[in-house]
Amino acid sequence: MTLISVIEVPQWRSSGSRTAERLVEGARLLAEMVPGGDRVRVEVAEGSTPAELAVTASRVRTARADAQGFPVTLGGDCGVDLEPIAAAVRRYGERLVVLWFDAHGDLNTPDTSPSGAFHGMVLRALTGEGHPELLPEVSLDPRRIVLAGARDLDAAEVAFIEERGVRHLRVEDLAGADALLDGVSRAGGDEIAVYIHIDLDVLDPSEFTSVGSPARGGLRAGQLLALVEAVAGRFEIAGLGITEYEPSDPADQATLTPLVSALVKTCTQPH
């Protein structure tokens, strides 16, 4: 059995949601859903300036450096995946594909962001553009990004996707896994490793509402799991991040508990 390293990051200050403080409890609940493994809770720095967010990211880096197993990062907001993905790019280089399940693109820059919130800029920062304090040592090539389920994109994000070759699979492309598997393999070639980032707002609000920026027309929970199973059945998985749980409805906790444990299990299955 693969050893699992759970990193809980109760960061909420880089979310633009009014109810973002719920992410602290969400991180704790998510961490409880992951079976076994060694676990660490990262202490989050006060404040939301880029320098303060960078302090938290460096603590995530230290926590990861000590961890041995398959990295599972639990937010907190989407910004928590900055360092885990940067670490995967450092490790795998051009072999890494980032599969980003999210209703949003998180591809804004400080100049284009409508909210100013870093969680809407984190994926763009990983490509090397954004607040200087929050840029990775090695940038991710936008052509190695596969967006899955994004449906609430800002105009500047759409332009970036088109101009820089980000692959974008809409919810209607995800009825089965074929287009996703094809998109992931085209993004990376033969020997790839895939980092899977999940913002829970990729789910449809009809079955999951405990998020700060819901968007209609998303995935069903079983569909998300089936898609991740298909990807994990075919490619090496470099890491998993699950983010943006703002617990507000007990039914969502009941939906999430088996989903999270199944997601972790499938990502750590031996090939």
Interaction of residue 16 with ligand ARG, rule CB under 6 A: yes
CA distances from 186 to 145, 162, 168, 198 (A): 10, 16, 12, 21
Q: How far apart are CA 94 and CA 89, in angstroms?
A: 7
Classify burial at 240, counting beta carbons within 10 Å of its beta carbon; exposed 0-12, middle 13-18, buried 19 or more: buried
Interaction of residue 104 with ligand ARG, rule CB under 6 A: yes
Q: Nearest distance from residue 112's CB to ligand ARG, in Å?
A: 8
Binding piece for ligand ARG, criterion CB under 6 A, among 63-71, 111-119, 126-134, 188-196: 111-119
Residue whose structure tokens are 């907001």: 77
Q: Nearest distance from residue 157's CB to ligand ARG, in Å?
A: 7
Binding mask 181-200 for ligand ARG (x = CB under 6 A): ------------------x-
Classify burial at 250, counting beta carbons within 10 Å of its beta carbon; exposed 0-12, middle 13-18, buried 19 or more: exposed
Residue in 10, 75, 76, 120 binding ligand ARG, rule: CB under 6 A:
120
Segment 62 to 91, residues that bind ligand ARG, using CB under 6 A = 78
Cβ proximity of 60 and 102 under 8 Å: no
Q: How far apart are CA 205 and CA 201, in angstroms?
A: 8
Binding mask 201-240 for ligand ARG (x = CB under 6 A): x-----------x---------------------------
Interaction of residue 108 with ligand ARG, rule CB under 6 A: yes
Residue in 114, 222, 233, 258 binding ligand ARG, rule: CB under 6 A:
114
Cβ proximity of 22 and 248 under 8 Å: yes
